[in-house]
Amino acid sequence: MNKTVNQKAWFLVLPVIVLVAFSAVIPLMTVVNYSVQDTFGNNQFFWAGLEWFDIMLHSERMWNALGRQLFFSCIILLIEVPLGIFIALNMPKSGFWSSFCLVLMSLPLLIPWNVVGTIWQVFARVDIGLLGYTLSAIGIEYNYTQEAFSAWATIVAMDVWHWTSLVALLAFAGLKSIPDAYYQAAKIDQASRWAIFRYIELPKMMGVLMIAILLRFMDSFMIYTEPFVVTGGGPGNSTTMLSIDLVNQGFNLGPKAAFSIMYYLVILLISYVFYTVMTNMDKKEGK
């Protein structure tokens, strides 16, 4: 769409700016303030320069949390993206069963995050949960409150359960936008199922898949509630993700603020990639 230049449009966006500035800029400035100051209590602060950043950058605890976080995000992407595409390819294209699948698949996406945690907590417990009970009964050693590997398996399974449908729904939307003519041409050329996927479906899905991957990466990068409810970051620190580690810093203002700033900068960077992808897609559509 060809837009016209109109500076008065600023008045239309002004309420949004005021509101978001109030709930984003003021808190962020507080964080910036704390990150460069030290305190002896009594609300007396003095300049500490970049000391906190220096300390945090050498903090083994933060690097460990970051390592776990990246590991977690990579695992769930490696599972959810291929699985989501696979599910989308197998979904009924139209009719009653299509709606049926859409409704049931959307259900996990709309469950409050702490309840997702609760669901998996009771599902995976060895004494009362279907999954934990069954696994123990067939002789697999599994106890997510005691053993790190079980805890990891549980939160990965939980995230796959929670979010694979989102990837599938996005991929499905991409598939549905492919005109029938492409498939007919492939039929005439006697293309194999794999060739259809590789040369027609995958390229056409690329845009929405990029959105899905970035959304999943970003949201998994700030995951807090679900692992907090299920494992509380344990056993030990084995499932303490970045956000959990950050909240656990408590009122330790300086380090916490420095940590927050670095965390925020990473998010900012990924947001920029996301924004570029989105606007490129808009351009391609010629709007």
Q: CB of 255: closest distance to other proteins in angstroms?
A: 12
Read off the DSSP letter of residue 37.
Answer: E
Which residue, 14 or 57, has its beta carbon nearer to other proteins? 14
- Which residues 6-35 are close enough to bind other proteins by CB under 8 A? 6-10, 12-13, 15-17, 19-20, 22-24, 26-28, 30-31
The site that binds other proteins (CB under 8 A) totals a number of residues, namely 101
Q: How far apart are CA 136 and CA 127, in angstroms?
A: 9
- Please answer whether residues 178 and 204 qualify as being in contact, where contact means their C-beta atoms are separated by less than 8 angstroms: yes
- Please answer whether residues 246 and 35 qualify as being in contact, where contact means their C-beta atoms are separated by less than 8 angstroms: no
| Residue matched to tokens 């979904």 | 91
Q: CB of 137: closest distance to other proteins in angstroms?
A: 9
Q: How far apart are CA 116 and CA 189, in angstroms?
A: 47
Q: How far apart are CA 134 and CA 155, in angstroms?
A: 18
Which residue, 132 or 189, has its beta carbon nearer to other proteins? 132
From residue 150, how far is each of 114, 125, 145, 161, 239 by CA, in Å? Answer: 20, 11, 8, 16, 11
- Which residues 203-232 are close enough to bind other proteins by CB under 8 A? 208, 211-212, 215, 218, 221-222, 224-225
Which residue, 181 or 268, has its beta carbon nearer to other proteins? 268
- Which residues 251-280 are close enough to bind other proteins by CB under 8 A? 251, 256, 260, 263-264, 267-268, 270-272, 274-275, 278
Tell me the per-residue interface mask from 61 to 80 with other proteins, x by CB under 8 A, - otherwise: --------------------
Q: Of the candidates 154, 172, 220, 227, which one interacts with other proteins according to CB under 8 A?
A: 172
- Which residues 81-140 are close enough to bind other proteins by CB under 8 A? 86-87, 90-99, 101-115, 118-120, 122-123, 127-131, 133
Q: CB of 143: closest distance to other proteins in angstroms?
A: 16
Q: How far apart are CA 77 and CA 192, in angstroms?
A: 28
What the block records as the tokens of 132 is 């934990």
Q: How far apart are CA 116 and CA 107, in angstroms?
A: 11
Kindly state whether residue 39 participates in binding other proteins, applying the rule CB under 8 A.
no
